[in-house]
Amino acid sequence: MYIDIKGLDDERFIRPLELIANLFYEETTITFEKEENCDLSIHFALDIKENSVYVTGKLFDKEGFLESSEYEKEFSSYQTEKERFKQIKNAVSHAYLTMLQNKTGMIQKWGILTGVRPTKLMHRKMQENVPVDKAHKQLQEEYLIKEEKIQLMQQIVERQLAVVPDLYELRNEVSIYIGIPFCPTKCAYCTFPAYAINGRQGSVDSFLGGLHYEMREIGKWLKEHNINVTTVYFGGGTPTSITAEEMDMLYEEMYTSFPNVSKIREITVEAGRPDTITEEKLEVLKKWKIDRISINPQSYIQQTLKAIGRHHTVEETVDKFHLARSMGMKNINMDLIIGLPGEGIDEFTHTLNETEKLMPESLTVHTLSFKRASEMTKNKEKYKVADRGEISKMMELAEDWTKAHSYHPYYLYRQKNILGNLENVGYSLKGQESIYNIMIMEEQQSIIGLGCGASSKLVDPKTGKITRFANPKDPKTYNENFQTYTDEKIKMLSDLFQVKTTSAN
């Protein structure tokens, strides 16, 4: 789909307009003032005054005029040109989305929002003390978000504040993410750093050497500056792909190096692939008092697991869940995916029925997304997925099922190219929410990423401004340079918390 835009010349409009068009059409290209062979053409006129912007838009196809729209927005206070431009961009998006919705008859429940974290908007309103009714009205009028999504955001934000009442005051602490980039095999939809572990012991050894170093040095820096850790999350990859002995040494490192470990509110270890879980490894987790783990079925249909490259059986998921329970794991999360290839309402209903037999403490319901670099996206024709209508129904099934079984939504995030433009929602039984998930979604404090593919998101304690730093995804590059990445992070952290740099070397 080619859409030609007239009346705008700032290149910063291109990406947001492309993202919105992609909600309606596959792979849109936006061009400025290049009329030939475009499927649609949109003519904008902007009247920008000191305090407001007035946008009019006219939509044409090859045959002629189709739709028009207008929108006026008074500027809210802004500090920088960037913030002012954002408000103009939102006003243009408003008129643009209205025209595309009218043309296609498709209503976007998230309105003009295409970002990953819509709940952040609601938190911002709360931090600015905007009364709830007014906040909802603004979200509906300015962003065209539908009532059901506004209610979902409200519910989630309230839950988060019940679980972490000091959420807005945690900027002087940090959370830590530890990325372990190995898995037994690679799943077809995966774009995480996940390298098949077999035959890579040399690489695993060097990687763990680097990771221990990072943990030690960052821990030392945190101790020196009296900065406490709120949560720790071991992800990847599958952190239980390494041996029990390697896990044991890693957690020992955490206990020795990190400050005040007894005060850490939550430590999670992803044990996503059931084929990596053993009694011995569960013993190690218990030894270090780690009782929040994730065992991910994704689906309870064997054929689906095979089709997506997960080399384990449904029975194995169930068996490992019972094993973990019998060994004292009290907080187990399970991930499900809506819209896996070959699955529709019947298959998803089966998955929910199986979930009912286990009743994990939390359940994350993802909607399949076609991430650019995944095997599934590269060979899209091989994977048949349900249509938009069926995906929405499955989502409703998940909502009804979780409600009926006392699970509450407590975080959500969206992805690009997600089926049906829906969202991923984390549900949990009361009091079993993952604090780390709230931290990563709401970006209220810094998260330091250690290990492969771990990105650090550093939130300025005073301004809230976010700076990022990414460790490399592949173990080889990581192994060659882990000291540099540690030094870089320490420098950035020292600037952020305004303390003197102490180099790791």
* Number of residues near ligand SF4 (by CB under 6 A): 11
Residue 70 in contact with residue 54, Cβ under 8 Å?
A: yes
- In the complex, the smallest distance separating the C-beta of residue 140 from ligand SF4, rounded to whole angstroms, is 36
N-terminal to C-terminal alpha carbon distance within the chain:
53
Q: For ligand SF4, which is the closer residue by CB, 144 or 187?
A: 187
Interface pick for ligand SF4 out of 111, 118, 179, 272 (rule CB under 6 A): 272
Q: For ligand SF4, which is the closer residue by CB, 108 or 437?
A: 437
Residue 478 in contact with residue 451, Cβ under 8 Å?
A: yes
Q: For ligand SF4, which is the closer residue by CB, 190 or 398?
A: 190
Q: Which residues, 6 or more positions from 231, have their beta carbon under 8 angstroms from its beta carbon?
A: 175, 176, 264, 265, 266, 267, 268, 435, 436, 439
Residues in the chain: 505
Site stretch for ligand SF4 (CB under 6 A), options 83-91, 154-162, 234-242, 366-374: 234-242
d(CA 446, CA 461): 8
Write the single-letter amino acid at 285. L
Q: Is 371 in the site for ligand SF4 (CB under 6 A)?
A: no
Residue 418 in contact with residue 375, Cβ under 8 Å?
A: no
- In the complex, the smallest distance separating the C-beta of residue 236 from ligand SF4, rounded to whole angstroms, is 6
CA angle, 28 then 29 then 33, to 5°: 135
Cα-based distances in Å from 128 to 123, 174, 347, 407: 9, 23, 44, 29
Q: For ligand SF4, which is the closer residue by CB, 118 or 179?
A: 179
Q: DSSP letters of 299-346?
A: -S-HHHHHHTT--S-HHHHHHHHHHHHHTT--EEEEEEEET-TT--HH
Q: Is 238 in the site for ligand SF4 (CB under 6 A)?
A: yes
**Span 34-63, contacts to ligand SF4 by CB under 6 A:** none
Q: For ligand SF4, which is the closer residue by CB, 219 or 449?
A: 449
Locus of tokens 């006003």: 91
Interface pick for ligand SF4 out of 273, 312, 320, 473 (rule CB under 6 A): 273
Q: For ligand SF4, which is the closer residue by CB, 335 or 390?
A: 335
- In the complex, the smallest distance separating the C-beta of residue 415 from ligand SF4, rounded to whole angstroms, is 14
- In the complex, the smallest distance separating the C-beta of residue 199 from ligand SF4, rounded to whole angstroms, is 16
Residue 367 in contact with residue 423, Cβ under 8 Å?
A: yes
State the burial class of residue 81 (Cβ atoms within 10 Å of its Cβ: 0-12, 13-18, 19+).
exposed
Q: For ligand SF4, which is the closer residue by CB, 192 or 348?
A: 192
- In the complex, the smallest distance separating the C-beta of residue 237 from ligand SF4, rounded to whole angstroms, is 5
Structure tokens given for 470: 């990414």
Q: For ligand SF4, which is the closer residue by CB, 236 or 341?
A: 236
- In the complex, the smallest distance separating the C-beta of residue 369 from ligand SF4, rounded to whole angstroms, is 12
Residue 429 in contact with residue 406, Cβ under 8 Å?
A: yes
**Span 149-208, contacts to ligand SF4 by CB under 6 A:** 183, 186-187, 190, 192, 194
For helices 132-143 and 147-163, angle between their N-to-C axes, nearest 10 degrees: 140
- In the complex, the smallest distance separating the C-beta of residue 254 from ligand SF4, rounded to whole angstroms, is 21
Q: For ligand SF4, which is the closer residue by CB, 164 or 307?
A: 307
Q: Is 271 in the site for ligand SF4 (CB under 6 A)?
A: no
- In the complex, the smallest distance separating the C-beta of residue 388 from ligand SF4, rounded to whole angstroms, is 24
Binding site for ligand SF4 (CB under 6 A): 183, 186-187, 190, 192, 194, 236-238, 272-273
